Amino acid sequence: MSQTSLGAGLAAGPRPARKPYGWLVYLLAGGLLTLASPLITAVSPTLGVVALVLLQVVSMAAILLGARRHKLFRQRHWRLIIIAAACSLVESMLFWGVGWLWLKIPLFFVLYQVTTVVAYGLALTGLTLLGLRTGGQRWAGLLDSAIITVGVSMPFWTFLVAPALDGSSGSEFVLALTTFAIDLLMLGMVTRMVFDSGRAPWLMLLSASFGAVLVGDAGHLIDQAAGRPDGPLALTAWLGWALLIGCAALHPSLENNTREVKPPAVSSRARVTTFLALALLSPLISSLAPLLLGADERHRPYDNVPVIVMTVALAALLVLRLSIVARVAEARAVALDDQAEQLIAQTAKLTVSLHKQELLQRRLAHRASRDPLTGLANRSVLTEAVQNALADPGARPPALLLLDLDGFKDVNDTFGHPVGDELLTQVARRLREIADPGHTLARLGGDEFAMVFPGADQITATAVAQQILNSLQAPYRVGGRELHLTTSIGVLAGIPVSDSSEALRDADMALYAAKNAGKNRIAVFDPGLRDARMEHARLSTGLRHAIAQRELTLNYQPVVGLTGGEITAVEALLRWTPTGGTPVRPDVFIPIAEETGLIVPIGLWVLEQACADARRWHEQHGISVTVNVSGRQLRDESFSDAALAILRRHDLPEQALVLEITESMLLATTPAETRRIIDVLTELRAHGVRIALDDFGTGYSSLSYLRTLPVDILKIDRSFTSALTEADSRTRAFTKAIVELATSLSLNTVVEGVETDEQAVMLQQMGCPLAQGYLFSPPVPAQRVDDLLHTAPWRNAA
């Protein structure tokens, strides 16, 4: 191999992105030159040398190009291979070709021999370091290389080296024998890399190249032993080696040659097959050498000693390799056992976790379907029960009861939520005692409960509702207190509905009717309630747009002095006439405004408009304006500031405004809300705004309100006026008592609903100063008030 470069096969070629097919062009061109080289040498030995040198130079160029492109000079093994290639080129071209063959200088022949050994040694070292790149157990890799080398060496020794030793001598023969031995070592290393690094194209070309150089060096050894010049076999093999080395250097697969490849933990099938073949066939073929070569007197007994030594070495190497494999397998088995134990432990933990998760899911499913306070079913379960009952085509529609506890909010506000929660728990316990199997009892939220029983008629449902009503009226013992509750119940029974939402809507309408009827009662749904609710929704929607569409107006009814007949005040009365429709009565739309909260913006509009209209009346005639306000308005924290701002905006004195409240409004509020209302009225009264108490005498605690409320005017309800006749002495006595009470408290009194002269005369005789009613004037628009104010004092005044 003295005429070629060993390192070319391990060099990185050009980047495949630039010349991905350069190696193929080189293979075709070089292959033609290699096959033609024996003919060229036979015709002209000089041309044969030129062809050999040309391939060497091209191979060296490929090495340097690959080293530059892939930065191979940074890696120690590549540096050794490149230096070996350079030494091989120098010794073949300079020392052998020029110094020995041309100039015939013996020193150059010595330098040629030394440089050849150095090049082979550097190539073997670099190849060994390159083989160790695969990672893993390096001793295992070296053993694999040694096994291959020893196994291949036995037949070569028997059939090639041993015969060549007979009669051969000289330094050139020793050099040929040395290089051939190094060839065997490199072949083992390259073959081991093929096993560990996969079947990379560049590595396969590299293996083929070292196979070719082994054949070339073997031919050279035979020719040296025979004492003849190198024949066509050696020359062609060396040229093929140079060709394959260049192809490997140029191949695109060298792009990733720096990546470390992890070898398999256990020997691959190809490796095991190769080792088995070497262990069996190499000793067998070597032992059959006498039969194959023909035994004669030249075959001596000690000729078998090297084969025996190599056989023993091969066996020892295989045993060592098997021990490594066994240790690796044992380590993997231990690791697998540990993994199995870990897997078993993880499986046990997973089983426990899955069991806990199942229990948790069951608890969550139970909580998702149950009310956490009472343990009753929740709304979703109730809806499902109604839907299931409706899904039975042959069954009667289910009965549905909706229950709402009257005054429960007062319990929470007065005694706190813990007492309220305990009260709800006791209510749920009483309801469970009434519910039969097959009934679904649920708490829908707050103080609202429901009960569904499939197929029940209206009579049965009403009977159960009455039983509930009676049961829940019994006293409750909570926290050392005795509490009382009443219940309103809406009943839906015997009415076809399409789904659960419609059933709940209809039952809620019945419950709403029971609440409006005075609470503590049962209301059964009928289709008329649905129509009423639709009308309620229509009116609610209309009210939301009434102000913007200018559908709201104010009428004013005068308050007249009974002594002189003069108008002292006017009361603003709200009227609503929808666009394109008929007027809606105040007793219809005002409760809707209260319920929806629209009374707050509507009330501010009324106050704004009344103050705007009253400014000129007060300036010209000194009269005041009375405006009705609701409890919702007074509970609004900004109401007092808004009222005073309106007065300032219209330059109306505070004394010209009377805010009128009802006793029933106070009865509908909680003690805390009543306190808030009283504070707001007191603040307004401190600024000069007067307060009137309307419908006096119809409530349950009017006298106590007179003691606590900041009131300036009492308005006696029209129910007293309508019964005021000469024959009804009791009504006259009550009315006179109220007038005298107001006088003693320095309160003005206004009697409402005066419609006859007789009533006016009787009230004047009782000492009542002011009256209001159709006798004097019905409610009229603002323009008509100007006309009333410019007329003479009322003609019927005494």
pLDDT at site 324 = 66
Higher-confidence position of 301 and 330: 330
CA separation for the pair 695, 751 (Å, rounded): 10
- DSSP-assigned beta bridge partners for residue 320: none
- pLDDT-based confidence at residue 13 (cuts at 50, 70, 90): very low
Higher-confidence position of 327 and 784: 784
Higher-confidence position of 51 and 528: 528
Q: pLDDT averaged over the chain? A: 79
pLDDT at site 572 = 96
Structure token digits, residue 101: 């063959």
- pLDDT-based confidence at residue 468 (cuts at 50, 70, 90): very high
pLDDT at site 177 = 66
Which of these, 407, 590, 404, 379, lies nearest to 501 by C-alpha position?
379
pLDDT at site 14 = 41
On whether the CB atoms of residues 195 and 268 are closer than 8 A, the answer is yes
pLDDT at site 648 = 95
pLDDT at site 522 = 93
pLDDT at site 581 = 86
Structure token digits, residue 690: 């007067």
Cα-Cα-Cα-Cα torsion 301, 302, 304, 310, nearest 10 degrees, comes to: 160
Alpha helices in 73-170, H assignment, sequence order: 76-90, 106-131, 138-156, 162-165
Higher-confidence position of 685 and 327: 685
The model's pLDDT over 392-424, given as tens digits with 9 standing for 90+, comes to 777 788 899 999 999 888 888 888 889 999 999
Selection from 155-159, 266-270, 290-294, 778-782 with the highest mean pLDDT = 778-782
Higher-confidence position of 360 and 246: 360
The model's pLDDT over 494-506, given as tens digits with 9 standing for 90+, comes to 888 888 888 899 9
Whether 121 has a pLDDT exceeding 90, the answer reads: no
The model's pLDDT over 296-320, given as tens digits with 9 standing for 90+, comes to 444 455 456 666 666 666 666 666 6
The model's pLDDT over 21-60, given as tens digits with 9 standing for 90+, comes to 777 777 887 778 777 777 777 777 677 667 777 777 777 7
Whether 748 has a pLDDT exceeding 60, the answer reads: yes
pLDDT at site 282 = 62
Taking CA atoms, 387 is separated from 377, 382, 436, 437, 453, in Å, by 15, 9, 19, 18, 12
For the purposes of burial, counting CB atoms within 10 Å of the CB of 402, is it exposed (0-12), middle (13-18) or buried (19 or more)?
A: buried
Backbone angles phi, psi at 445, to 5 degrees: 135, 145
- pLDDT, average across residues 543-558: 91
CB atoms within 10 A of CB 634: 24
CA separation for the pair 662, 650 (Å, rounded): 26
